[in-house]
Amino acid sequence: MNPFRYSKPDTLQAAVELSSANSRFIAGGTNLLDLMKENLTRPEHLIDITGLPLADLSETPSGGVMIGALVSNADLAWHPWIERRYPLLSQAILAGASPQLRNMASTGGNLLQRTRCYYFYDASVPCNKRSPGSGCPARSGLNRIHAILGASEQCVATHPSDMCVALAALDAVVHVLGRGGPRTIEFADFHRLPGDAPDRDNQLADDELITYIELPPAGFAEHSHYLKIRDRASYAFALVSVAAALELDGPVIRQARLVLGGVAHKPWRDRAVESWLVGQAVSRETFTAAADALLQDAEPLAHNGFKVKLARRAIVRALSEAALVGGTAR
Amino acid sequence: MSATLSEATPASFVPHPIRLTLNGSVRELQVLPWTTLLDLLREQLDLVGSKKGCDHGQCGACTVLRDGKRINACLTLAVMCDGAELTTVEGLADGDELHPMQRAFIKHDAFQCGYCTPGQICSAVGLANEGRAQGSAEISELMSGNLCRCGAYNNIRDAIEDALPLCQQTGGES
């Protein structure tokens, strides 16, 4: 790890004013320190934000929930409001990482974790995300874990988060503060597709700090399911994951949310498929048609063609679980 | 150690004073910002129970308790532990009386080489504090952050299952 300056500001404004192109905010540190140990990130200045008043959950006037950026992943997953009203989010968080990491990792930091593409993590090989313009060995190399949707010539990395897949399905809103003041970003717009600038994972500016994640009132607690498929039973990143949420009127779908993880540079949400599901009756045929539509533009690489079939089956199963079994509302 | 480093590092990289409670004792220390909690424990404080396995948060051999919650000491900056209450495997026993989780690991022969054991035991005490695990399947899932290359998993799980009621009766141990 490189030497760096360390500051611990007391106020949001001070934190934002301390930030620069060569500084990083640190909270849980679970991904940032790992990247620093690999010399993939070498910030000159770490700004410790754990003293800021962002560690609580509160109810919003509209009946939603405002989650402070410093709430740990474990506290969020096991918070009674989240377990009861947003079980999809609890399930997704508990499907990721290990108990130790969930105790450390923050809500805001989860959004900012970097891809686990093994070429990105290997400083001895080129990578357009790590070193723009240097090339992408994953595209022609071993790409079993890589993207099947929304990739570019320059980058085929996937976003590693489970939590973000659920937040995309729940229509969360990201609140940020920069030197120019606060702004909000719709969750679906927060992360980027790689395009010709894969070094940029998201829309945040250097001086911007995530302050809160806002959940709207609709939590789909009756009919939601998070399904994660990985190489081992626990503590592994998703090959494919699905966040499925439905609002039903008898057998008829009134509202649908369908987001995939592990398949693209960001949580993959297809609003056209969600709209098509509205008015359809719950059935295996309906869900299979939805899966086929979502995956029609999939472009698998040499080693990840299996992900298309896996995603198709995972979508059908997740929607079926959501419709028939419901979430884990207690 | 800090004298040597101060010669090699620019003046702007100064040690920071921290105060923390470590295994029941208040400690006032000077740490450089890039020192991990694991390196502080092992290199500066001679508490070598916590192990450096992967140094990347993947194996759990460095697991300690911060304010009663299990964390990876290798991915924690010491400077960010200012004000914290830390417990390592060295602080679990009450004098000569082993912690119920330690006794259960001995009873169930829950180790072979022993390298992962301090992390396993601290993680298991953290699991007991959480109060979430019901039954052996959930214990296995909630111990997924601790790897054992010898493969003593079945005995580790049995030890934890045996000790959980005892740990929770005493209100857990931070």
**Does pLDDT of B3 surpass 90?**
no
* Residue A324: predicted pLDDT: 84
Mean pLDDT value of segment A148-164: 98
What is the C-alpha to C-alpha distance for residues A122 and A124, in angstroms, rounded to an integer? 5
Q: Using alpha carbons, select from B79, B73, B34 the residue that is nearest to residue B55.
A: B73
Closest CA in chain A for residue B70:
A100
What is the C-alpha to C-alpha distance for residues B62 and B146, in angstroms, rounded to an integer? 9
Cα of B32 to nearest chain A Cα, Å? 9
**Does pLDDT of A98 surpass 90?**
yes
* Residue A182: predicted pLDDT: 98
Mean pLDDT value of segment A124-147: 97
Beta bridge partners of B138: none
Asked if A235 lies within 8 A of B126 by C-beta distance, the reply is no
Tokens 């140990």 correspond to A37
Burial group, residue A276, by CB count within 10 angstroms (0-12, 13-18, 19+): middle
ipTM of this complex = 0.95
* Residue B12: predicted pLDDT: 65
Q: Confirm or reject contact between B63 and chain A (CB < 8 A).
A: yes
pLDDT 10s digits, A157-203: 999 999 999 999 999 999 999 999 999 999 999 999 999 999 999 99
Q: Using alpha carbons, select from A95, A107, A96, A300 the residue that is nearest to residue A190.
A: A107
Cα of B96 to nearest chain A Cα, Å? 28
Q: Using alpha carbons, select from A124, A203, A220 the residue that is nearest to residue A166.
A: A220
Chain centroid offset of residue B73 CA = 7
pTM above 0.90, yes or no: yes
Asked if A234 lies within 8 A of B141 by C-beta distance, the reply is yes
* Residue B10: predicted pLDDT: 58
Question: Confidence class of residue B14 from pLDDT cuts 50, 70 and 90?
Answer: confident
Question: Confidence class of residue B170 from pLDDT cuts 50, 70 and 90?
Answer: low
DSSP annotation of A30 reads: T
Mean pLDDT value of segment B86-99: 97
- Locate A289 and state its tokens: 């048609």
Asked if A104 lies within 8 A of B127 by C-beta distance, the reply is no
What share of chain A has pLDDT > 70, as a percent?
Answer: 98
Question: Confidence class of residue B7 from pLDDT cuts 50, 70 and 90?
Answer: very low
Asked if A5 lies within 8 A of B60 by C-beta distance, the reply is no
What share of chain B has pLDDT > 70, as a percent?
Answer: 90
Q: Confirm or reject contact between B35 and chain A (CB < 8 A).
A: no
| Chain B neighbors of A122, CB-CB under 8 A | none
Burial A193-217 (b: 16+ CB within 10 A, else e): bbeeebeebbebeebbbbbbbbbee
pLDDT 10s digits, B147-157: 999 999 999 99
Amino acid, single-letter form, for residue B42? R
**What is the pLDDT of chain B when averaged over all its residues?**
92
Q: Confirm or reject contact between B34 and chain A (CB < 8 A).
A: yes
| Chain B neighbors of A234, CB-CB under 8 A | 140-141, 144
| Chain B neighbors of A33, CB-CB under 8 A | 36, 75-77
pLDDT 10s digits, A203-237: 999 899 999 999 999 999 999 999 999 999 999 99
* Residue B131: predicted pLDDT: 96
Give me the sign of the Cα torsion angle A150, A114, A57, B169: positive
pLDDT 10s digits, A279-301: 999 999 999 999 999 999 999 99
Considering CB atoms only, which of B69, B130, B144 is closest to A98? B144
